[in-house]
Amino acid sequence: MAFQLVQEFKFDNVDYSYDRRSDVLDISFGLPAPAIALQVEDWLAIQVRVNPPSLQGMTVIGFRKIFDKINRYAAEELPGRMRRLATTKLSMSYDNESDTLVMRWSEGASGLHRLLQRLSFRKKEKPSIFEPLSRVADAAHPATLTDQSLRNVYVERTLPSKDIIGIKILEFTKCGPAAIEGFLGAIVDTLFEPNAPHDENVHLITNALIERLRLDRQKFAVLTAA
């Protein structure tokens, strides 16, 4: 297999605007540019740049209303969250022979840690394994539509720490859009419906997202149970 880097997203040029009156948070990777939305749910849209096609940003409608209940300082902490996002890197690679797409993300080191990494002159690749994202169906728990859409999605985890560092989608040409839809949907469901029957890996990805955004999982569970 020969994976070719398709796209690499660096979020160091993240730009955002929060309108308190309308409670809308717009995040763009670079300056705002003409875009078309991919609406995930009523509160979340991913913005795709028109020319050239690329990830432009995202819009969160009702940001304070949703996130204040989890963390009352959510709006005040936005600058810090955006600085943290700016250290994140997402790369997408595709292998034509196996029709496989791999997405990997990493959070950059900062300050002294980054300097030491540069001085070490070597890139450390941790060993990793792939695990299926959807739960295994059986007679007692038959596969749902979401499970079916996730059957080609695998989670990449490091060894031995088992940190989640990426996603692999098989048969991407045929199943890619449904897999991405199922993947995003599973994360949203796990955020708002923590008791939804998803595999442990979906919960782990959602938890990783919550940790990166420094949200409070317990408060989120109380909110979503209300």
Partner 1 sequence: MDEGISDPTGFQAILTDDCWQHIVSRHPEMQPFKPSVLEAIGMPDAIYLGKRDPTRRIYRKRHLQVAGIGDSLDLLVFVGGADGYIATAYFAAYSLRMLGTLIWPSS
Which stretches of the chain bind partner 1, using CB under 8 A?
17, 19, 21-24, 26, 28, 32-43, 45, 47-48, 50, 59, 61-62, 65-66, 181, 184-185, 188, 192
> Which residue reads 């991405």 in tokens?
180
Q: 66, 37 in Cβ contact below 8 A?
A: no
Q: DSSP characters for 76-99?
A: TTHHHHHHHHTTEEEEEEEETTTT
Distances (CA, A) of 158 to 55, 111, 127, 155, 197: 27, 24, 6, 10, 25
Measured from the CB atom, is 188 or 210 closer to partner 1? Answer: 188
CB of 83 to partner 1, least distance (A): 20
Q: Which two tokens stand for residue 183?
A: 């993947």
Distances (CA, A) of 148 to 1, 115, 151, 185: 26, 45, 5, 13
Q: Which two tokens stand for residue 96?
A: 């034509």
CB of 78 to partner 1, least distance (A): 15
Measured from the CB atom, is 130 or 192 closer to partner 1? Answer: 192
Measured from the CB atom, is 19 or 107 closer to partner 1? Answer: 19
CB of 19 to partner 1, least distance (A): 5
CB of 45 to partner 1, least distance (A): 7
Measured from the CB atom, is 7 or 17 closer to partner 1? Answer: 17
Measured from the CB atom, is 166 or 185 closer to partner 1? Answer: 185
At 208, give phi and psi (nearest 5°).
-60, -40
Any residues with CB less than 8 A from the CB of 116 and at least 6 apart, and which? none
CB of 70 to partner 1, least distance (A): 13
Measured from the CB atom, is 170 or 184 closer to partner 1? Answer: 184
End-to-end CA distance of the chain: 48
